[in-house]
Amino acid sequence: MALSLVLAFFALWQVQKAAGEVQRSEEDKIRLWANAIGQRSQLADVTQEFFQQATLDEHRKMRLYTDILQSFNDPDQSVDLRFSLAYIRYIVDSSQTPIIITTAADSLITVPQELAGQKLAGALRDEYSRNPPFTYRLWGMPMTLYYKESQYYTQLRQVLERLTQSFLADITGNSVKVPVIILDSARTDIVALGNIDSSEVDTPRKLAERVSSMARANDPVQITLPEGGLAYVYYENSPLLRSLRWVPLLYVFIALVLLAAAYLLFRTTHTMEQNRIWVGLAKETAHQLGTPLSSLVAWNEYLRGKELTDQYADEIGKDLHRLETITHRFSKIGSVPELKEEDVREVVERATRYLQGRTSKKVQYKVSFPEGESFVAPLNSYLFEWVIENLCRNAVDAMEGVGAITIVGSQDARKIYIDVSDTGRGIPPSAQKKIFESGYTTKTRGWGLGLPLAGRIMSQYHRGELYLKYSVVGQGTTFRLVLRKKS
């Protein structure tokens, strides 16, 4: 359980670390994008200044034309009229700026030649009235010069318009997929928007709420549009970045759910195991009591009408002692038993003697301890006999009432080892890891508590061990008990 928690928190830390790296990468991209907006805005400023300068140059050129035309009025200059007209026509033709010169009184066109005599009115006047005209006098006659953008100026304006559209498209349709709203200088009207559904900002209230939310997320970027005028770029984090911020919380939630589920599963399993133990203990109690009670019933029937002897009393005494032993065993469960220095060999022989007289005659018991050696260890004889009996009963069941049970003792300086072997059918490899699990059994009417209970008696009460030493299918099984010589 602890290892699972460590692995879960390590995985969560790795996910949060990866999410943080992606988040920082996204934030870096957004900052680069915002800086690029400022740089593009500066480029637009330069282009706008150039465009304004070109407009001023057009105006100055037209002022120069009118000054040249007015110079023909100078009485000190004797200029041939035909030459003057030819010179004016040359000025007009050599200029790339379309020009119309009219008489001020009735707006009759005098220049260019193909429009001479027509009146400047309607669409033609609208076309040439985008720039302020110049008025002057020529030989005493009031004249007006109209002009419109030159071809060079028109191409420059087209380039500027394309730049404006590209500029706005680059901001709104960015590769980072950042939601963007560009507002005018008054911050009321939308100039452009990108990565946002128009239905989200189709009312002033929705627009104000979305802009306010964006302003809380990031400071707006002030830009100057290529065609003049300020604008403000409001933006928020990309959907990927927003979702990444929830990833750690999501994994924490999942981890908490898994922990809660694991706790509930553990609690349910623990409760079920306790229920199995209590039921099993009840069955074990009935089983333990059944043997001496059956024997006493049999003695009672046998002794009816017969003369009693000491032999009969001894046998009945054994069963009564057995009942007393069972009572002591179950009274020790759940409490700390008292351990006394006991002779392990005597305890084992006492347990096997009782079992041998109450099992099949076809089952042989052999207890072997080295002669002349003392096998003394701190133990509770009532509980330890229970362990021996459990192992022997399982061996009798495995041999199906026919075979041999051999108990061999050995020791070293610190521990005593007792090997309990049988000649039964053996335990399959697939089941060897499960035999100490509560509830696991291969018997039709078993409860799977004998070995788990024996294992707990050895580990919890005697600080020893019980484990499967080896087992071969069809040849037999050996369990080993390990006792400490000192508590």
pLDDT digits (tens, 9 = 90+) for 318-330: 666 667 666 665 6
Same domain assignment for residues 340 and 231: no
Same domain assignment for residues 213 and 353: no
pLDDT band at 217 (very low <50, low <70, confident <90, very high): confident
Q: Region 178-196: what's the mean pLDDT? A: 81
Instruction: Answer with the one of 237, 272, 290 that is the final residue of a domain.
Output: 237
Q: Region 63-73: what's the mean pLDDT? A: 76
Residue 284, pLDDT > 80, answer no
Say if 351 falls within a structural domain.
yes
Question: What is the pLDDT, as a whole number, of residue 424?
Answer: 92
Q: How far is CA 237 from CA 26, 178, 213, in A?
A: 8, 6, 11
pLDDT digits (tens, 9 = 90+) for 360-391: 889 999 999 999 899 999 998 888 988 998 89
pLDDT digits (tens, 9 = 90+) for 81-115: 556 556 666 655 665 778 888 887 667 777 777 88
| Cα–Cα distance for residue pair 382/459, rounded to 1 Å | 16
Q: What are phi and psi of 222, to 5 degrees?
A: -85, 130
Bridge partners of residue 108, in order along the sequence:
119
Residue 278, pLDDT > 60, answer no
Question: What is the pLDDT, as a whole number, of residue 452?
Answer: 85
Residue 164, pLDDT > 80, answer no
Say if 446 falls within a structural domain.
yes
| Cα–Cα distance for residue pair 401/233, rounded to 1 Å | 92
Which tokens hold the place of 52? Answer: 């304004």
- Most confident segment among 102-111, 273-282, 422-431, 434-443: 422-431
Say if 413 falls within a structural domain.
yes
Say if 371 falls within a structural domain.
yes
Which residue would you say has higher pLDDT here, 176 or 435?
435
* Nearest CA among 297, 264, 295 for reference residue 359: 295
Same domain assignment for residues 47 and 186: yes
State percent of the chain over pLDDT 90: 16
Q: Which of 74-88, 120-134, 239-253, 432-446 has the lowest mean pLDDT?
A: 74-88
Kindly report the CATH number assigned to the domain that includes residue 468: 3.30.565.10
Question: What is the pLDDT, as a whole number, of residue 363?
Answer: 92
Task: Please give the model's pTM, rounded to 2 decimal places.
Answer: 0.42
Alpha-carbon Rg for the chain, nearest whole angstrom, is 54
Torsion of CA 330, 334, 337, 342, to 10 degrees: 50
Question: What is the pLDDT, as a whole number, of residue 408?
Answer: 95
| Cα–Cα distance for residue pair 404/254, rounded to 1 Å | 56
User: Domain containing 430: what range?
Assistant: 336-484
Instruction: Answer with the one of 237, 263, 293 that is the final residue of a domain.
Output: 237
Question: What is the pLDDT, as a whole number, of residue 335?
Answer: 59
Which residue would you say has higher pLDDT here, 36 or 190?
190
Instruction: Answer with the one of 237, 261, 292 that is the final residue of a domain.
Output: 237
Which tokens hold the place of 150? Answer: 């030159």
Say if 33 falls within a structural domain.
yes
Question: What is the pLDDT, as a whole number, of residue 124?
Answer: 84
Same domain assignment for residues 31 and 164: yes
Which residue would you say has higher pLDDT here, 77 or 73?
73
Say if 40 falls within a structural domain.
yes
Three-state SS for the chain is CHHHHHHHHHHHHHHHHHHHHHHHHHHHHHHHHHHHHHHHHHHHHHHHHHHHHHHHHHHHHHHHHHHHHHHHHCCCCCCCHHHHHHHHHHHHHHCCCCEEEEECCCCEEEECHHHCCCECCHHHHHHCCCCCCEEEEECCEEEEEEECCCHHHHHHHHHHHHHHHHHHHHHHCCCCCCCEEEEECCCCCEEEEECCCHHHHCCHHHHHHHHHHHHHHCCCEEEECCCCCEEEEEECCCHHHHHHHHHHHHHHHHHHHHHHHHHHHHHHHHHHHHHHHHHHHHHHHHHHHHHHHHHHHHHHHHHCCCCCCHHHHHHHHHHHHHHHHHHHHHHHCCCCCCCEEEEHHHHHHHHHHHHHCCCCCCEEEEEECCCCCCCEEEECHHHHHHHHHHHHHHHHHHHCCCEEEEEEEEECCCEEEEEEEECCCCCCHHHHCCCCCCCCCCCCCCCCCHHHHHHHHHHHHCCCEEEEEEEECCCEEEEEEEEECCC
Say if 283 falls within a structural domain.
no
Domains of the chain: total? 2
pLDDT digits (tens, 9 = 90+) for 466-481: 999 999 999 999 999 9
Residue 347, pLDDT > 80, answer yes
Same domain assignment for residues 357 and 214: no
| Cα–Cα distance for residue pair 351/410, rounded to 1 Å | 18
The residues near 112 (Cβ < 8 Å, ≥ 6 apart) are 92, 99, 100
Say if 396 falls within a structural domain.
yes
Which residue would you say has higher pLDDT here, 186 or 150?
186
pLDDT digits (tens, 9 = 90+) for 437-462: 876 676 656 656 778 888 888 988 88
| Cα–Cα distance for residue pair 406/421, rounded to 1 Å | 5
Q: Please, what is the average pLDDT of the chain?
A: 76
Beta carbons within 10 angstroms of residue 41's beta carbon: 20
Same domain assignment for residues 40 and 185: yes
| Cα–Cα distance for residue pair 204/201, rounded to 1 Å | 7
